[in-house]
Structure formats: structure tokens, C-alpha cells
Structure 1
Amino acid sequence: MAQNARGGSRRAVQVAALVAAGVFLLIGVLGFIPGITTDYDEMRFAGHHSGAKVLGLFQVSILHNILHLGFGLAGLVLARRVSGARLFLAGGGALYLGLWLYGFFIDRESGANLLPVNDADNWLHLVLGFGMLALGLLLSNQVGSGGRLDTPLDRP
């Protein structure tokens, strides 16, 4: 198992949170690199008029990239503790499922499309949402709450 700053071992949920946070930081940085981000000159601060796309697929704006960076930094901080890693993964997963719903129902040509999102973003948000939620809930089943979870057979 990986070692944390205090010499103890990291739990799988913490490692998963660190990996997810690293990916968000990487995507946030890549969104500001011309070449990796196509049509970089069409990037706007926010809104659906931003024509920039990371890897030519995922529509981004300056605000979108800043949110990825902020989410990644939050993940790094929260992954220091098991409960924080659970919160980052499960809460972030729920947040991304909400973002998927937003992208699914929003009129993408309206002013309400602030981030912006396209079909590729929508599918990615759906996969990230379920993936992070599953990792946050399944990897931390017996840690972080002071004891193991009870089962129906344990109850009086």
C-alpha cells in the first residue's frame, strides 16, 4: 500500500481519490495548452460560444478549465483523510451526475450553457459520475466511520 505523510499506509479509497484528483489537474492544465486544445484561439471565458476542444473532443472554456483545476486541488486536499477521499469521490460523483443531467437537458445554444458542454462532455460526465460514486462507496465500505458497517444479521 502507498505511504502517507505520517508514515501510515493509504487506503484504496485515498489512492483512488489521488488518482482522480491528478486526472482533473492534468485535464485542467491540458485545456490551456494550444495544440492539445484545438481551436485554442476560439476559447472564451465561459459560455457555449467557446469553440476550443481538449483533444478535439471535449468543449472547454477558461472557466471550465479553472473548475477542473480547482476540483483537482480539492481532491488532493481531501484525499489526505479517508473521510475526505470518500467525500471527494462519492460527492464528486454525484456532482458529475448532476452535471450530466444539466448537459442532457440544457439547450446547448442558450446562455444557460455556461461551462460549455457537448455530447462528448456529457458522456464523460456520466462515466465519471458513476465511476467516482462507485469508487467512493465501494472502496470505503469498512473504513472512516470508526468501525465496520453492520449487516442485517448483526442487528438485534
Structure 2
Amino acid sequence: MATSPGATSNASSRTESSWRPGTLASTLALVVGATFLLIGILGFVPGVTPGLGDIKLLGHESGAELLGLFQVSVLHNIVHLLFGVVGLWAARRADIAVTYLVAGGAVYLVLTLYGVVIDRTSDANFVPLNEADNWLHLGLGIGMVGLGALAAAAARRDPARRDAVVR
């Protein structure tokens, strides 16, 4: 299908309009992703994570606690690092940033439920999770979903950026 000079196809205009590094969604994904990266790194820092000498690859036997509160393992810290990298990548486009925030929040809400129903002394607690983790994950889940909804609503109100999130 031919287009007149100066006109762009709908597909190319969507691609161009999706690149919105200055949108609220992109900024929020960048901040959340950077925070997860920082937390993942701090999970391996002596002094910030008491009991680091007792850290395990996975499982509830890990004696390391980030900030002396949140039980962590090597796997747990790697998950934070991966969430961070994905957040930085998602910040490139507003539509992906909203998906990252909402889907990531949903993952944390499911993780909260998982942490509540499992026996924390069993092998099912492979992440590992403690009471403080459950509360943190609940807050992260609600917060990330809320931020994603806020960013999507902001994009809908801004006609210049509407295509960045709403298709």
C-alpha cells in the first residue's frame, strides 16, 4: 500500500511514538529498576547484610538478612538484580514500562500469597521468605501495580503521548 510523501504508515508511527524516555511510565520503571539493582547488589555487601557468611544458594536455611530484616539467598539477590535489569530495559518505552510495573507488581502479589501459605521451615521456602519479606512484597506489589496504573492514566490524558501506552 503506497503512502503519500510526508505520510507515515500506522506501524511506523506507532514505533516512533512508543519511544518516550521522558514519560512518567519510563521514569517510574527506571527508578524501580534502579532500586531493584541497588537492593540486589546490597544483598551481597557485608555489613548491610548481616549473616552474609551464612548465605545459601537458595532455601530457608540461609542466614543472611538484608538490613538485618529481610532473609535473602543468592537466588533472592539474583532475582532482584534481574528485576532491576528488566526495569532499566523496560524504561526505554512507555508501553513496556507500564507492562513491567503492572506485571512485576502482580508477581510480587503472588509471591506475597506464596509466602503466606507455605511452611517457612520447609523446602517449599526456596526463595527464602520471612514475615518482613511478605510485608515488603505486599507493598511492592500494590505499589508497582498502582504506579503502572497511574502512568497509564497519565499517558491517556496527554494526547502527545497517548500512543506510547494506549494502543
TM-score (norm 1): 0.87
Q: Which amino acid aligns with 2:97?
A: A
Within the candidate set 85, 88, 94, 1:76 is matched to 88
Within the candidate set 134, 137, 140, 1:128 is matched to 140
Matched residues, number = 140
Is 2:43 the partner of 1:31? yes
Is 2:68 the partner of 1:56? yes
Q: Which amino acid aligns with 2:106?
A: A
After the TM superposition, which parts of structure 1 deviate over 6 Å for at least 4 consecutive aligned residues? Answer: none
Is 2:122 the partner of 1:101? no
Q: Which of 1 and 2 has greater Rg?
A: 2
Q: Which has the higher contact order (CA 8 A, sep 6+)?
A: 2
Look up the match of 2:166: 145
Q: Deviations over 1:13-50 (max 9, x none)?
A: 11111100011000000000111000111100000000
RMSD: 1.3
Query: Unpaired segments of 5 or more residues in structure 2?
Result: 1-18, 157-161
Richer in helix (by share): 2
Query: Unpaired segments of 5 or more residues in structure 1?
Result: 1-6, 147-156
Q: In structure 1, the residue corresponding to 2:63 is in which secondary structure?
A: coil
Alignment identity in percent? 51
